Amino acid sequence: MTKKSIFVSSVLCVALCVFAGCKSTENVDLSKAIDLEHHFIHPDYIDYVKSRTEYPYYKEGLGICYSGTSFIPIDTPQNFNQSDLAKGRKLVDIVTDLDDIRIAELDDAGVSTAVLSAGQGIEELPREDAVRLARATNDAVAAAIKRHPGRYQGSICLPALYVEESVAELERAVKELGLKYWHTHSNYGGHYLFEEQFEPILAKCAELGVPFYLHPQYPSTPYLNSFGMNIGGAGLGFGVDVTRTATLLIMNGIFDKYPNLVMILGHMAEFFPYCLTRMDDRFGNAKETGMDPYDKSKQSFTYYFQHNIMMTTSGIFDPSVVMFAINKIGIDHIMLGTDFPYENFRDAVKFVKDLPISDEDKAKILYKNAETYILK
C-alpha cells in the first residue's frame, strides 16, 4: 500500500467516524472480548483422516487435504497465529487443545470468552462417521465449558448431509448441552445449504432460536479449487463460495419464511457490504419485471443484512473496511471474530480496540452485540 493510499484510507476512516458521531464513552469495559470464530478440531477427527485415502485425508509432510491441491499443514510448527506461545508448537497441538494451551492463548490475546467453532470436514463424511464425530465434538465442547466456566461457549457441529440426524443432534446440543449456534460451511463437497433438502435443519434453528454461522469451506467447483490454495481458499475462493451460498439462501426466501432466523458471516461478510447497492438495484429491477424466476425473496438484500444477518471481523485488519460496513449496515451487526489459530490472535483483538470509533461502539463489536443477539 502506498503512502498516499494509507493517507486516503485514514482520512476516510476519520470522516466516517465523525459522520457516525464518534465520541468517547466513560465507564465502558474494553477489557472484555468474546471471540465468535475460534476453531477447534476434535483429536478423533485427526486420527480418522489419517486412516483415509480419499478426501478428506492426511498426507505426511503436507497435512490434511480438504480440496484439490489444498492442504492444511498440521504437523509443522505453527505459522499463522505468531503469538509467543505458539512459537515452535505444531498447529495440530494448538487446534485440538481445549485446556492449558488455549486458555493461555485467550489470556495472552485479552479474550475473556471464546465460542468454540468446529465441523470442517466432518459434515462431508459417511453417515456413521459424521454422526459419531459430530456428537463427540459437541460433547467435548460442552465438557470444556464446564471445566472452564466463563471462558468458553460452544457452537454446534452437525452431520449436515444427513438431515434427520442433524435435526436430532441440533436439539440435543441446545437442550442438553447448552450450545449456542450452529457452525456450518459454505459447501458440503458438492451440496450446499441453500438446497431444499436442508431446510428442516434451518427450520429447527428458527424454532429453537439458534443462529447459524456460515463459514467458508474450500469450493467444490474445479474452476476455483484447481489452481491452488489461495485461489481456492482464503485468498479468493472462500469469499466466492460463502457469497454464493448466502445469496441463494436469501433468493430462496428462507429469511421470509423464517423471519427470526439469523445468519452470521465472517470476514466482514466477505464481498457483501460493497455489493449491496448494486444487488438491490439489479435484483429489485428483476423483481419488478419478473425477469428472474429464481429469486423468491420479498425484500432487498440490504433489508436482510439489517434484520437477519450479522458479521464478524475475522481475518480483516483494514479499518476502512470496517468503517464502511458500519456506515453501510450498522454497528449493531458487527462482532469480534479472530479466526484463531489461523490469524494473529492478539492483533485481531487489538485491531478492534484501535478502530477510530467510540468506546461504546468498540464494546459492541468486542462483546455487547454477541451477548445481545447471539449468546442470549
Active site residues: 339
Residue among 210, 217, 148 at smallest CA distance from 179: 210
**C-alpha span between 48 and 185 (Å, rounded):** 20
3-state secondary structure the chain: CCHHHHHHHHHHHHHHHHHCCCCCCCCCCCCCCEEEEEECCCHHHHHHHHCCCCCCEEECCCEEEEECCEEECCCCECCCCCCCCCCCCEHHHHHCCCCHHHHHHHHHHCCCEEEEECCCCHHHCCHHHHHHHHHHHHHHHHHHHHHCCCCEEEEECCCCCCHHHHHHHHHHHHHCCCCCEEEEECCCCCCCCCCHHHHHHHHHHHHHCCCEEEECCCCCCHHHHCCCHHHHCCCCHHHHHHHHHHHHHHHCCHHHHCCCCCEEECHHHCCHHHHHHHHHHHHHHHHHHCCCCCCCCCCCHHHHHHHCEEEECCCCCCHHHHHHHHHHCCHHHEECCCCECCCCHHHHHHHHHCCCCCHHHHHHHHHHHHHHHHCC
Cα dist. 304→186, 307, 328 in Å?
18, 5, 13
355: left (phi over 0), alpha (psi -120 to 50) or beta: beta
